[in-house]
Amino acid sequence: MLITGGSRGIGAATARLAARRGYDVAVSYLSNEAAARELVTAIEADGRGAIAVRADSADPVEVSRMFERVDRRFGRLDVLVNNAAMIARQSRLEDLDHERVRRIFAVNAIGPILCAQQAVRRMSHRHGGRGGAVVNVSSASARLGSPNEYVDYASSKGAVETMTTGLAKEVAREGIRVNCVRPGHIHTEMHASGGEPGRVDRVKDSIPMGRGGAPEEVAQAILWLAGPEASFVTGTFLDVTGGK
Q: Do residues 101 and 152 touch, judged by C-beta distance below 8 A?
A: yes
Q: Do residues 6 and 31 touch, judged by C-beta distance below 8 A?
A: no
The residue annotated as part of the active site, out of 23, 29, 150, 153, is 153
Q: Do residues 176 and 123 touch, judged by C-beta distance below 8 A?
A: yes
Sheet holding 79-82: strands in order across? 50-54, 25-29, 2-3, 79-82, 132-137, 176-183, 237-240
Residue 74 φ/ψ, nearest 5 degrees = -115, -20
Q: How far apart are the first and last CA of the chain?
A: 29
Which of these, 60, 98, 63, 59, lies nearest to 77 by C-alpha position? 63
Question: Residues of 117-136 as b/e, b for ≥16 C-beta within 10 angstroms?
Answer: ebbbebbbeeeebeebbbbb
- Could you confirm whether 150 is annotated as catalytic? no
**Residues in the chain, overall count:** 244
Q: Please state, as a whole number, how many other Cβ atoms lie within 10 Å of the Cβ of residue 72.
A: 9
The residues annotated with a catalytic role in the active site are: 153
